[in-house]
């Protein structure tokens, strides 16, 4: 599935709910399903700036695709849900596809107060870091088993 196909699928999922609270509940439930991040990746270097809650992002090349691991502090469940959406859409995609991706799902899942609030500052910096890493590694192929950083 392409990045856009995944985004469309998510938009369709959110369209099932009319109420903002139900949509938020759905995000929280997605967050609960996000596999926990290995503790060794929860470093200060991997911390995303601009969030009220702590969010870590680890990026590495696997072949010609980028693999992301991310997590938030355990109590920040909405952040965790938003993180899980980004991982679902972008992880294991080609570096140049991620660098060039237009992430329109954010505006179309109908949660304006999540997107325009300070949380979006964190979400925006997470997206920026994912894209920066991908842009820097575009066209590179990492032999399997080795980390790019």
Partner 1 sequence: MLKLKSVFYFAIQYSLFIIHYSLLLFFIAPFAFLSCYLLRDYRYFMQTATHEILDIAAIRRDFPILDQVVNGRQLVYFDNAATTQKPLPVLNALARYYEGYNANIHRGIHTLAEKATSAFEASRRAIQQFLNAAHVEEIIFTYGTTDGINLVAQTYGRRFLNEGDEIIITTMEHHSNIVPWQMLCEEKGCVLKVIPIDDNGDLILEEYENLLSERTKFVSVVHVSNAMGIINPVETIIEKAHAIGAKVLIDGAQASSHIDIDVQALDADFYVFSAHKLYGPTGMGVLYGKKDILNAMPPWRGGGEMIKEVTFEKTTYNDLPYKFEAGTPNIADVIAVYTALEYLDTLGKKNVAAYEHGLLEYATEALKSIDGLRIVGTGAQKISVVSFVMDGIHHQDTGVILDQQGIAVRTGHHCAQPLMSRFNITGTTRASFAVYNTKEEIDRLVQGLLRVKKMML
Per DSSP, which regions of the chain are E strands? 55-62, 65-72, 93-94
Q: Which is nearer to partner 1, 19 or 102 (CB)?
A: 19
Considering beta carbons, is residue 20 or 100 the nearer one to partner 1?
20
Identity of the residue, 78 or 136, whose beta carbon is nearer to partner 1 in the bound complex: 78
Q: Residue 69: beta bridge partners?
A: 58
Tokens of 144: 């399997």
Tokens of residue 66, six digits: 């980028």
**Cα–Cα distance measured from residue 87 to residue 53, given in angstroms and rounded to the nearest whole number:** 18
Contact between 144 and 62 (Cβ < 8 Å): yes
Stretch that binds partner 1, among 5-13, 40-48, 55-63, 71-79 (CB under 8 A): 71-79
Binding flags for partner 1, 8-37, as an x/- string (CB under 8 A) = -----------xxx--xx--x---------
CA distance 22 to 142: 41
- Nearer of residues 16 and 21 to partner 1, judged by Cβ: 21
Total residues found in the chain within this entry:
149
* Minimum gap (Å) between residue 72 Cβ and partner 1: 8
Contacting positions for partner 1 (CB under 8 A):
19-21, 24-25, 28, 52-53, 73-79, 113-114, 117-119
């Amino acid at each position: 599935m392409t990045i856009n196909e995944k985004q469309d699928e998510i938009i369709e999922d959110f369209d099932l709910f009319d109420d903002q609270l139900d949509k938020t509940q759905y995000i929280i439930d997605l967050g609960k399903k996000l596999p926990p991040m290995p503790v060794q990746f929860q470093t200060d270097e991997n911390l995303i700036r601009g969030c009220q809650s702590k969010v870590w992002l680890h990026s590495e090349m696997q072949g010609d695709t980028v693999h992301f691991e991310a997590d938030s502090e355990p109590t920040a469940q909405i952040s965790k849900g938003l993180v899980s959406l980004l991982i679902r859409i972008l992880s294991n995609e080609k570096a140049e596809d991620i660098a060039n991706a237009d992430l329109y799902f954010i505006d179309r899942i109908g949660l304006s107060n999540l997107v325009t609030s300070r949380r979006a500052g964190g979400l925006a910096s997470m997206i920026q870091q994912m894209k920066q890493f991908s842009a820097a590694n575009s066209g590179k192929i990492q032999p399997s088993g080795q980390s790019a950083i």
